[in-house]
Structure formats: C-alpha cells, structure tokens
Amino acid sequence: MAEAHQAVAFQFTVTPEGIDLQLSHQALKEIYLSGVRAWKKRCARIRNNIVTGVYPASPSSWLFVALTVVGTMYTRVDPSMGMIGKIKEHLPVKRCLSHQGQNIMSALLFATVLWLALIYMMRQILKTLLSYHGWMFEEHGKASNMTRIWFTMVKIFSGRKPMLYSFQASLPRLPVPTIQDTMQRYLESVRPLMNDEEFHRMEALAKDFEVKLGPRLQWYLKLKSWWATNYVSDWWEEYVYLRGREPIMVNSNYYAMDFLYVTPTPIQAARAGNLTHALLLYRRKLTREEIKPSTLPGLPVPLCSSQWERMFNSTRTPGQETGKTAHLSGKLLLLYATGERVNVWLEEKLQAWRKRVGWVVLWFPPSVPHQDSTHTSPRGGGGRIPWGKARKSFFSNGKNRSSLDCVEKAAFFLTLDGDKPGLQVEDPVKSLDAYAKLLLHGKCYDRQVAVGWFDKSFTLIVFENGKVGLNAEHSWADAPIIGHLWEYVLATDSFQLGYNDQGHCKGDAESTVLSPQRLQWDIPEACQEVISGSLKVAQSLANDVDFHTFPFTKFGKGLIKKCRTSPDAFIQLALQLANFRDKGKFCLTYESSMTRLFREGRTETVRSCTIQSSNFVRAMEDHLSASECLKLFHLAAKTHQHISRLSMAGCGIDRHLFCLYVVSKYLGVHSPFLQEVLSEPWSLSTSQTPLQQVELFDLLNHPEYISCGGGFGPVSD
C-alpha cells in the first residue's frame, strides 16, 4: 500500500509547563487550500446539475419569466387566469406576509411553475424533432424544404452554450424495429452468402420465427423499451463484453497510434510528462462538463454523451460468470517502469505539471515470474475465470487488497516502455506491424501486466524514442469516445504545451509534487503458478496475431468525394472486391455504426456484404465494361449508404436479433432461427473511427500531423 506520511499539520510534546503546540503554517495553508478546492468542485457540480437540468432554457430565464409575471400584476392583467389568486389562498406562510408580499410570493410561485412547464415543453419539442430522421435519407446537397425547416427548428430549440450532458434528457429512446422489417433485411443480407437451397431453408426458418415465437419475444422488448432508457445497451455491455470468459487482451481491447510522421520530442520522460498533463487537463474539463457535446459533422444534431462518464478512474473487474465496470473517485495515477525511468520521468513531470494537482503516483516495478514475492505482481493477460479466481483467493485482504484498491481507483495507467517503435521509411510495413503489436499486447509481461492492467479504462504507453500510443478497454465505451480524448491530448501536447529547444517540458519545476510511492504485493507460490499460466496463455494469443499496417498516400477521401461517392462506401466495396479475390467467396462482413442519436446508444452492425456489392464484385471479376461496372458500383455504394443510415436511425438488424435471443434465453425457449443467426461467424471486420476534431490540428498548414488511427484484434480464427 502506498503510504505518504511526509507532512503533518502539527506536532506536540508534553512538558512540565504543559503542552507545547507547534503549528506548521505551510501545512495548515495546504489544508485550507484543499478545502477551498473541494468546495469549489462541489459548487461547480451543483451549478452544472442545475444548468443541465433546465436545458435548453437557462437559469437566468427564470428571472425574465418572474419579472414578466410580476410586472403584469401592476397593469391589472392576470396572465395566470386566476391561478395566482388560487395560490394566494393556499399559501402556507400567508400570515407572515403583508398583502403585497402575498401577491408577489404567489406570482413568483406561478412564474416558477410556468417556467418549468415551458422547459418541459421545449424539451419535448426538441425530443420530437430529434426523433425525425427523414433528413438522413435525402440526397447530399439537395435538402427538401421540410428538412430545412426541421434544421431551423432544431437550432432554435437546442439552446445556447450546451454543456457535455445538456442534451441527454432531450434525446429520444432507441426504437424497437418490427419483426417483419428485421426478417426482411436479414434475409437480404445473407442472400449473397448462400446458395438457393441454403437460402430457402433459412427463409423458412425466418418465416416460422416471424409468425410463431417472434411476436412473443417482441412483446418483452417493447415493454423494456418503454421502461428502460435503452433496450439494447445494458444487455450488450453485459453479454457481449462482461460475460466474455476469454482474455480481453487482443480479443476485446483496442489501440490508438501516435502521429505517423512527427515526434514532438525524442525524450521519453518529457513526452510522458506533457501527455500526463494533457490527460489531466481533459479530465478537469470532463469533470466540469466543459467538453462540447458531440454532434454529427456539420449538423446541429446532438449525440449521446453518456459514455464519457466512465472515462477516468474506471476498472473492469472479473468474476466467475460475469464481471462489472467499477467507476470510482480518487487522485491516483498508475505508473509502470524501472526505478531509473521513474526518477527521470518525475523530473520532467515536475515541469510539465504547472499547476498544483496533489496527485499521488503509484509505481510498479517490472515483474518477472518467481522473483522476490514483494516485487512481483500478478498478470491479467489470461482468461477471465483464472483471473477472477486469483483475485478472490489472493487479493481480498492484506497489502494485496490495499494495493488493488489503489489500482482500481486510479485515473489511468502509464507505461514507460523500453522499445523504440515508429514508421521507418526503408521498411514501413514491418516497422508499423511491430508498433501495432506493441500497443495491442506488448510482450505480455511488460504492458498492463500487474493485476489485470488490461482492465483499466485506458493505458498511456510512452516508448523510449518518444513515440506514444493508447490501449483501451472496450466495455465502458466505444472507440469514438477514446478517439475524442486522444485527439485532444495529441493536439494539446504538440500545439499548446510544447517543448523547449532541448526537447524537455517547458515551465519551471513544481517542488511540492509528491514523489511516486511503490505498491507492495505478497505473491505466494500458488499465485505465481497462476501468473505463469496466465502469461503462457497471453503469449500464445499474442504470437497468433499477424499485422499488416501500411501508410497509403496515393489519394484520400477528397478525391473520392470529387467522384460524388461516399468514402466509407468506396472503402467497403474495395474490401469486398479484395476479400473475394483472396478467398473466392463472399463472407459475413461487420462494420460498426453508431446509434448515439438515441439516449445511451452505442453501436449497430452494418452488414456491408449486400446483393448489390456482390453484383459489382462479380462484374469486376467477369471483366464487364467500365460503364457497366461503374453503374453497379454506384448502385452498391448507394445501397451501402442506405443501410448505414438505417442502422444510425435505429432500424438495424443485429442488435434487435441479439436482444430477441437474450429474451428467449430468459424465457427458456429454443429458437433454431436465432441460434443459427447468432452463431454465424463474422469473417471480415471493418470498423473504423474518423477524425472528429479536425480544427485542433490545422491539417492545411500542418499535413504531417496525421496518425494511422488505431486497430483491434481479429474477430475470428
């Protein structure tokens, strides 16, 4: 357990003359400042809750309504149509007020009720407006008059200066598609994957389900959609993520890369110091809800912000059957490095943290199996069941329990790595492959290895040559959320904090920042055996992962848009063509689409292999004329855009089928159709996350500040 008893508020000794009290003014000053900061945070939270609670109105609008109502009383006009008089008759404190005071109090109470009613009405109007998605299906650049009016109304009722969670109460609920629509779209999606006999068999199963069992299961989903905020998200998190028993390394976690062509400083400790500072700046903005709510690019349509809530101080904990995501509070930071790296990083950190934050840094020495038990820490790269058993057996009391508490309360995890990855011009593919593997799983004993580091919400990895990256746990949020954080951090590091001419952090050292404290573990031989077994599982999994990462510079989305084609559809059709040429057949293809137009929405699947895309691929393989291929290409691209928009609008296939399957399991009924659908393998997974905050990077003047993005492990063998 990290102990920090270097400072005390006062000392006293007993003398013959009495008690000699020696006050430490510096310590008392720090105690006073800590209390002031704590109360400021409490007041800020109260203010934020009030502002968010009355949005899209503002607290100051109450004053306008109150003054208007009170003012009309002096013109002998009753805007309440007798309500103020009724309130006056039943005032509980009327005996304590004068006649004039009773009138004003009654008017203020009426004004408050009227103000709240107006807020509710505005919020319901905005929710109704946001429930309309017809604009999504109109041709780009040719908005109808109805859509223009709709956009104007959304802008009017969206209010001014929204905070991060301002729109949450105004977002509509995710609708449950009809059984008929889902069956029809499902059959269309699997037609290219089956021959006639297989398709007719599946068609019969679907029709039988639609008529018999489907309506019964659908009734329960409808009931849940009326009662719960989102009928999918809690089950999706529980059954897809938390109940998974395989290692989450490679199978679930994903990574994000640094700039491809730029390294702001080659000094590892300096880069770690600045990035830590940038992450804490983002955390402060998040705590104050100062982050602008996300909207669709170029449109005033808000997206759900609920996934931001568990970004920091969150940990995924294992269990025998299922795990959970714990979100705690604390001012701890986890650091994994050798003692020498810790000291060098601390010197840079003192300069990078140009504000007093009072964070306690917890330091973990590198751990090797069977070394001194006080220095060894258990690995979490193996399966969830062994890790859950080990957690219960060896980490439920004593120093291990105390250290584990520190781990789970920490804001995030920082690794100082001894490797030197990055793009090498002479061999770009091999160098980027190695870089990606280091971010995805490392060497399995030098990454997030102690106590299931892959369980932390995210890990910042800083390499010896100054390159960086992130590894993120998936259950608490999807990639666009961590992408938003990563964009801010990289931009703040390069364009705001910066480095001096020698590559060190700018600013003067802060002498009051506490030194890192070393966590202690008691690892008996039985636990070390579990550690070694987990390490073997993790290494086997990591060795089975192949990467092929490369920079593509011949053209980008600008050229594709000039051809009046969706860049996403272009890439998806290219992948279908490449996959068919590689395997000689079509396969079930997964592309993720967000459903954050709805409250607590996460993702939906876009089944990119369609009848139209397969027709285009066959035309290319049969060497039809360019005009015929181009015609089929545009039709396939248009179809892909349409099914992508359906997914965003809550009319997707897979989340509905998934929830129907969950209900069938709860009811104990067997569905051959659902069983077969949910067991179909996704052989091709093509998810991606676009840049969200282009304005942070000024790519026009600094085109070199681009990244390879990120990646994830394969979804099937």
Mean pLDDT value of segment 532-545: 88
Cα–Cα distance measured from residue 473 to residue 326, given in angstroms and rounded to the nearest whole number: 13
More confident residue, 226 or 33: 226
Q: C-alpha angle with apex 436: 420 to 711, nearest 5 degrees? A: 150
**pLDDT, mean of residues 396-420:** 86
Kindly tell me if the per-residue pLDDT of 52 is higher than 90.
no
Neighbours of 289 (CB within 10 A): 22
Distance CA 633, CA 172 (A): 35
In a domain, residue 714? The reply is no
What percent of the chain has a predicted confidence (pLDDT) above 70? 86
pLDDT at 669: 93
The pLDDT value given to residue 361: 67
Q: Report the pLDDT value the prediction gives residue 380, as an integer from 0 to 100.
A: 46
What residues does 416 pair with on adjacent strands? 462
Rg (CA), the chain: 29
What DSSP string describes 210-266?
HHTHHHHHHHHHHHHHHHSS-TTHHHIIIIIIIT--S-STTTT-EEEE-BSS--S-S
Residue 455 has pLDDT above 70, yes or no: yes
Task: Please give the backbone phi and psi of residue 445, each rounded to the nearest 5 degrees, phi first.
Answer: -120, 0
Q: Calculate the average pLDDT of the chain.
A: 84
pLDDT of residue 377: 44
Residue 382 pLDDT level (bands cut at 50, 70, 90) = low
Tell me the Ramachandran region of residue 355: left when phi exceeds 0, alpha when psi lies from -120 to 50, beta otherwise: beta
> Are 600 and 680 in a shared domain?
yes
CATH number for 356: 3.30.559.70
> Do 203 and 273 share a structural domain?
no
Domain encompassing residue 575: 1-9+20-25+178-228+555-686
For the four alpha carbons of 266, 269, 270 and 274, in that order, the dihedral sign comes to: positive
- Is it the case that residue 696 has pLDDT exceeding 50? yes
Q: Are 166 and 306 in contact (CB under 8 A)?
A: no
What pLDDT is recorded for position 716? 77
Same domain? 197 vs 108: no
Residues 578 and 597 in one domain: yes
pLDDT for 687 beyond 90: no
Buried b (16+ CB within 10 A) or exposed e, 454-472: bbbbbbbbbbbbbbbbbbb
Nearest to 386 by CA among 464, 320, 291: 320
Comparing 357 with 420, the larger pLDDT belongs to 420
For residues 559 and 138, the answer to whether their CB atoms sit within 8 Å is no
Residue 185 belongs to some domain of the structure:
yes
Q: Which of 488, 523, 544 is the last residue of a domain?
A: 544
Same domain, 527 and 387: yes
Give the residue-averaged pLDDT of 273-291.
92
Q: Give the chain's end-to-end CA distance (angstroms, integer).
A: 42
Per-residue pLDDT of 654-684, as tens digits, reads 999 999 999 999 999 999 999 999 999 899 9
* pLDDT of 9 strictly over 80: no
User: Is 15's pLDDT higher than 80?
Assistant: no
Which of these three, 544, 579, 610, is where a domain ends? 544
Same domain for 265 and 190, yes or no, is: no
pLDDT at position 152 is: 92
Domain limit, last residue, from 504, 524, 544:
544
- Please determine, for residue 576, whether its predicted confidence score (pLDDT) is greater than 80: yes
Determine the Cα–Cα distance for residues 274 and 284; give it in Å rounded to an integer: 15
Q: Which residue has the higher pLDDT, 43 or 18?
A: 43
> How many residues in total does the chain contain?
717
Would you place residue 1 in the very low, low, confident or very high pLDDT band (cuts 50, 70, 90)? very low
Please choose, from the candidates 433, 712, 702, 706, the residue with its C-alpha nearest in 3D space to the C-alpha of residue 553.
706
**694 CB neighbour count, 10 Å cutoff:** 12
Q: What is the DSSP string of 148-185?
A: HHHHHHHHHHT-SS--TTTTGGGSPPPPPPPHHHHHHH
| Residue 542 · residue 437 · CB < 8 Å | yes
Instruction: Look up the pTM and report it.
Output: 0.87
Residue 468 has a pLDDT of 96
- Quick one: which of 151, 157, 147, 149 has its CA closest to 123? 157
pLDDT of residue 364: 60
pLDDT at 32: 65
pLDDT value of position 386: 80
Contacts of 458 (CB under 8 A, 6+ apart): 311, 412, 413, 470, 471, 472, 473, 482, 485
14: pLDDT strictly greater than 60: no
Asked whether 334 and 410 are in contact (CB, 8 A), the reply is: yes
Residue 426's beta-bridge partner residues?
A: none
Does 86 share its domain with 219? no
How sure is the predictor about 35, in pLDDT bands with cuts at 50, 70 and 90?
Answer: low
313 shares a domain with 204: no
Count CB-CB contacts under 10 A for residue 304: 25
- 469 or 347, which is more confident? 469
Q: Are residues 511 and 637 in the same domain?
A: no
| Same domain membership, residue 187 and residue 85 | no
Which of 555, 491, 441 has the alpha carbon at shortest distance from 691?
Answer: 491
Query: Residue 639 has what pLDDT?
Result: 96
Do 533 and 665 have their domain in common? no
| Residue (of 713, 616, 694, 666) closest to 255 by Cα position | 713
Q: Is there a domain that residue 692 lies in? A: no
- Find all residues with CB under 8 Å of 437, minimum gap 6, and list them: 542, 545, 547
Q: Which residues participate in catalysis according to the annotation?
A: 474
Which strands make up the sheet holding 254-257, listed edge to edge?
517-518, 360-364, 332-336, 413-416, 458-462, 468-472, 254-257, 710-712
pLDDT of residue 329: 78
Residue 203 domain flag: yes
Phi, psi of 507 (to 5 degrees): 100, 170
Structural domain includes residue 390: yes
Number of domains in the chain: 3
370, pLDDT greater than 50: no
Confidence of residue 691 (pLDDT cuts 50, 70, 90): confident
pLDDT bucket at 44, cuts 50 / 70 / 90: confident
- 243 in a structural domain: no
pLDDT at 518 over 50: yes
Quick one: 397 and 504 in the same domain? yes
Tokens in use for 671?
């569905």
Q: pLDDT for 597-623, tens place per residue?
A: 999 999 999 999 999 999 999 999 999
Whether residue 431 contacts residue 292, with contact meaning beta carbons closer than 8 Å, is answered with no
